[in-house]
Amino acid sequence: MIIIRTTEEIELLRESNLLVSSTLGELAKWIQPGVTTQKLDEIAEEYIRSHDAIPGFLGYHGYPKTLCTSINNQVVHGIPSAIKLREGDIVSVDCGVLKNEYYGDSAYTFPVGEISDEIKKLLEVTKESLYRGIGTAIEGKRVGDIGYAVQTYCESHGYSVVRELVGHGIGKNLHEAPEVPNYGRMGKGSKLKKGMVLCIEPMINIGRKEVIQENDGWTIRTADKSPSAHFELAVVVQKDKAEILSTFRYIEEI
Ligand code: MF3
Ligand code: CO
């Protein structure tokens, strides 16, 4: 069952998702060569708690941290640690919060210092694919239209789409129906209705689409060790244009 949200619920979801956005904006100030992902995790946890919310991932299926920090060939679910970011790395920072009983969830892949043109292009294309997916999240379209938009754009640039992990509905639970794959066929899947709230989150690899799980039981990385990018925003399906609840504005203003 896909829940249709009331105006009041949408306002609460906006508050939670904007808190995640400003948390990522705070982290942007710290992301540079030499910082550990554990330090980023501590900053995020403190920031979230000081805004009357709790970390949304901490304890989720036993997940041990506030953030997922996935470096270079890690796709998602990297666990913050004492490892230092290095010049030329990319790091996907995925963050969730629970505030007023509603979840927020957003991710951004940051460059660390100067990165190669090849990887810059991966970040640009992945982010643009997210906006193309959002562009199809309108009443009357179907979930497959979102995946189709993301997939065709990324594959036209020679990149591949991770299949094992998908976007999702969000509300009083972090993950709700429907699943929102980043690949799909036009006109297939559940019909989109005004008031559905979805997290769209393309995970895109420079190389092959296959991924493996590392021995820590969480971290997902590309099987061929090629770099991977990940961006996520929460949107409300509306009649003519999706309404975006989270924003990269806090990050990109810096
Ligand atoms: N951020 C992931 C998502 O977007 C969920 C992370 S779950 C955790 O769906 F357990 F790893 F925290
Ligand atoms: Co998500």
In tens, the pLDDT along 83-127 reads: 999 999 999 999 999 999 999 999 999 999 999 999 999 999 999
What residue's CA is closest to ligand 1, atom 12?
A: 57
For 1, 9, 68, 107, 154, the CA distances from 179, given in Å and listed in that order, are 11, 20, 20, 17, 20
| Section 179-193 average pLDDT | 98
Considering every ligand atom, which ligand is closest to the CA of 96?
Answer: 1
Considering every ligand atom, which ligand is closest to the CA of 94?
Answer: 1
**pLDDT at residue 111, rounded to an integer:** 98
In tens, the pLDDT along 4-61 reads: 999 999 999 999 999 999 999 999 999 999 999 999 999 999 999 999 999 999 999 9
Pocket test of ligand 1: the residue of 17, 41, 57 to mutate, having most ligand atoms within 8 Å of its CB, is 57
In the chain the domains, ranked by start, together with CATH numbers, are 7-252 (3.90.230.10)
Cα 166 to ligand 2 centroid, rounded to whole Å: 8
Cα 156 to ligand 1 centroid, rounded to whole Å: 28
Q: CA geometry: angle at 69 spanning 66 and 72, to 5°? A: 175
Cα 105 to ligand 1 centroid, rounded to whole Å: 8
**pLDDT at residue 143, rounded to an integer:** 98
Query: How does DSSP assign 174-198, residue by residue?
Result: SSEEEEE-SS--TT-SSBP-TT-EE
Task: Indicate whether 79 pLDDT > 90.
Answer: yes
For ligand 1, what atom is nearest to the CA of residue 175? 9
Q: What is the strand order of the sheet 233-236 is part of?
A: 176-180, 167-169, 197-200, 233-236, 243-244
Task: Look over the chain and give the mean of its residue pLDDT values, rounded to a whole number.
Answer: 98
Cα 105 to ligand 2 centroid, rounded to whole Å: 5
**Taking each helix axis from N to C terminus, what angle separates 37-49 and 7-28, rounded to the nearest 10 degrees?**
140
**pLDDT at residue 188, rounded to an integer:** 98
**pLDDT at residue 105, rounded to an integer:** 99
Is 105 close to ligand 1, i.e. is its CB under 6 Å away? yes
Is 44 close to ligand 1, i.e. is its CB under 6 Å away? no
Residue 74: exposure state from Cβ atoms within 10 A (0-12, 13-18, ≥19): buried
| Section 174-179 average pLDDT | 98
Smallest CA-to-CA distance from 163 within 124, 129, 204, 127 is with 204
H helix or E strand, kind and range, residue 133 = helix 117-135
Task: Indicate whether 254 pLDDT > 80.
Answer: no
In tens, the pLDDT along 58-73 reads: 999 999 999 999 999 9
| Section 194-198 average pLDDT | 98
For 116, 154, 158, 190, 204, the CA distances from 207, given in Å and listed in that order, are 16, 12, 8, 30, 9
Ligand 2 is an ion; residues with CB less than 5 A from it: 105, 199
Compute the half-sphere exposure of residue 81: CA atoms within 13 Å on the CB side of its CA.
8
Is 68 close to ligand 1, i.e. is its CB under 6 Å away? yes
